[in-house]
Amino acid sequence: MASHQFTTTLTSIHVDKPLSGYDYSSGIWQFEGNFYVPSGLSRMSIMQVFGGSPSATNLMLRDYDGNLYYYKEKIIESNIYNKWYKVNVIHDVGASKLKVYINRIHKHEASRRSGDQHYLKFGVYTQNNEANYMESHWSSIKLYKNKAPITLVSFCYQEHSDNHSQIWDTLKARVTSSATYGWENGGFCTCLHIPAINASSVLMSHKEV
């Protein structure tokens, strides 16, 4: 199965990716993805359910010194550095419940905070006393609504790559949204959102750079 990898690095406040076009106010929504946090990084949120009240979020998964926390209240998974993990976050709006699974094991359940409109986002977002450099890697991002899968493919490449034109010509007909992020080396990366139709076969013919 083809998969993609989404990497965020920064020296400013945040680089994260909202799942644009999939805001919701009802139903059961599930985020799925594989994440990797390199060693030595800390004090950052890597995944959020946005749209809470009075706070801005309903859920945050944060890295503190190599441990994955629900906010800073509870350790969800210990010793996460330099390993890939599958995470599933289920948001049942009607039941006011959020569930977190790591590697298919139920790790945490929380009551939904208030808020009428929600969306999901992943990447890195600074917390108090943040480091100067943050990074997370993601692959195989999927979004499910009421058990019906919606596959979101984020294809990242550096604009100055030799095959930029070829990639864009191949994918532009399927792109639903895009966003550009800065990189420390002065280049930048464009992330394209592609609906599920034929997306996997397209990605198999191109490698991320």
Question: What contacts 53, CB < 8 A, 6 or more positions away?
Answer: 113, 114, 115
The CA angle 41-45-48, to the nearest 5 degrees, is 155
Same domain, 80 and 178: no
Residues 95-119: tens digit of each pLDDT? 888 999 999 889 999 886 667 788 8
Domain stop point among 123, 151, 179? 151
Same domain, 111 and 166: no
CA distance 170 to 166: 6
Same domain, 202 and 172: yes
Q: How many structural domains compose the chain?
A: 2
Domain stop point among 110, 128, 151? 151
Write the CATH number for 51. 2.60.120.200
Residues 18-69: tens digit of each pLDDT? 566 778 888 888 888 888 888 877 778 888 888 776 677 888 999 888 899 9
Same domain, 95 and 177: no
pLDDT at 120 over 80: yes
Same domain, 42 and 103: yes
The domain of 200 spans 152-209
Q: Which residue has the tokens 């058990």?
A: 147
